[in-house]
A = this chain, B = another copy of it.
Amino acid sequence: MKRLPKYIQQTQGKLWLTEDDRDNLKISYKIKEVLFEATSDFQHVMILDSDDFGPMLVLDGAVQTTAEDGHIYNEMIAHVPLILHPNPKRVLIIGGGDCGAAREVAKYKQVEQIDMVEIDELVVKASKQYLPQVSGNLSDPRVNFIFADGVAFVKSVKEKYDVIIVDSSDPVGPAVQLFESAFYENLHRALHDGGIMVCQSQSPIFQPDIMKQSYDRIGNIFTHHQLYTAVVPTYPGGLWSFTIGSKQPLRSVEQVVFDKETKYINQAILNSCFQLPQFVQDYLQGELVSSR
């Protein structure tokens, strides 16, 4: 019998991936086929073809993005800061190895350069080859791939950007630094005067403390900050948060016209994504404390 990759179990002749990152809640995906498996210097990388979500990128056993719903996260992390910036020309993406965020940024004609700093080249290669539904097999000449540590990159970068997108994994291991004030200060330094940064700030349901921490830390460094949400079905709890830090007052969403071709975000979602449920407002204001 062929050896199964770790994280994959065989039950009654069927293959399953069970995400093991949470203690009390497990999500299992039925798998048709292992399309790619390798271990890089940084992590275990798989592309699995799943029954419900099509091909999906799995790092160290955790689903990162899927053909079926990957566009939601990528559209929301890319379009919101880009449409709120009056004239984005130079964009930096930290992480985002699935290339989906870069693909969305590339929909903006006025953008001249997209620097994408991803630590793991293998994730980019695998996503381009086996996950074109997300990566679009990105070959836009404005995209400049830099395979390096994002934390070190923003610490030393001399050039400045209009928009910085932090498309990080969860704050465990090396990614912890991407949630620290020192990192946000370097982002602030690497932005032009009118610049905007955005980061994914975890689940309001399962990690409200990290969400609030990101929101507070960014608010301490940037003169303007705001949190928005989207629904990503393959993330636990569905609801996901993003936090924007800006050096200038953010344009009102009523002032902008959304005209890109997308599957999730549109004018209606842009108008509503900053409208937060009461419990999220209460967490951000410190009136509700996580019991988790």
Which residues of chain B come closer than 8 Å to A24, judged between CB atoms?
29-30, 50-52
Interface size, chain A (Cβ < 8 Å): 42
Q: In the complex, which residues 229-287 of chain A have their Cβ closer than 8 Å to any Cβ of chain B?
A: 229, 231-233, 235-239, 262-266, 268-269, 271-273, 275-279, 281
> What's the dominant secondary structure at chain A's contact region?
loop
A265 x B239 contact (CB < 8 A): no
B281 x A275 contact (CB < 8 A): no
Copies in the complex: 2
A268 x B276 contact (CB < 8 A): yes
A269 x B277 contact (CB < 8 A): yes
Q: Name which of A29, A229, A239, A276 has the most chain B CB atoms within 10 A of its CB.
A: A239
Which residues of chain B come closer than 8 Å to A23, judged between CB atoms?
30, 51
A265 x B238 contact (CB < 8 A): no
Query: Taking the complex as formed, is A38 at the interface, i.e. its CB lies under 8 A from any CB of chain B?
Result: no
Which residues of chain B come closer than 8 Å to A50, judged between CB atoms?
24
Binding site for B on A (CB under 8 A): 16, 22-30, 50-52, 69, 72, 205, 229, 231-233, 235-239, 262-266, 268-269, 271-273, 275-279, 281, 292
Q: For the A-B complex with A25-B27, A25-B28, A231-B231 known, give 11 more contacts whose Cβ atoms are closer than 8 Å.
A: A24-B51, A27-B27, A231-B237, A231-B239, A232-B238, A262-B278, A264-B277, A266-B277, A266-B281, A268-B275, A269-B278
